[in-house]
Structure 1
């Protein structure tokens, strides 16, 4: 359903659904996650290269790091978006 909202910009069609005007849209969370992961992946690539001295190993580590942390960050953002504290 979240992916459906991201791709097709659909709104939930549940009867009685009230749109939350204070939360971010899922697409914003995805773009924030991507931009942050690019920065984090560059850092991981540099650190991995400095530790291993092997560009291929550093690239492998950075690639896996990018994918796993992108997914984790997206869901982390969505959970925090539901928390009203500090808004």
Structure 2
């Protein structure tokens, strides 16, 4: 993906055109957020269980963590998608 972007940028520069990039669609941000949260929640579950030795408490902590961080990541991703720096 990075290589594709570099190639597109070089082609645009060679033609004297400025590269125009669209923003990600919200659905892509949701899917990325969900996939990352599954990984993060598994980590939270393991750490919580290691610290408490109680699977019900660890699952409760992981569930709250999943929901709150999913929402935070989605809005974080959408805000960064509007930032032009580094594109």
Q: For the superposition of Structure 1 and Structure 2, which TM-score range results when normalised by the shorter chain?
A: 0.7 to 0.9
The one-character-per-residue Cα deviations of 1:23-53 (angstroms, maximum 9, x if unpaired) are 1000000000000000000000000000000
Correspondence for 1:52: 52
Question: Who is 2:33 aligned against?
Answer: 33
Aligned structure 1 segments of 4 or more residues deviating by more than 2 angstroms? none
Q: CA RMSD in A?
A: 1.2
Specify every segment of 5 or more residues in structure 1 that has no aligned partner in the other structure, as ranges: 1-19
Give structure 2 stretches of 5+ with no counterpart.
1-19
Q: How does 1:1-87 map to 2 (within 5 A)?
A: 21-87=21-87
Tell me the TM-score normalized by structure 1.
0.76
What's the TM-score once normalised by structure 2's chain length?
0.76
Larger Rg: 2
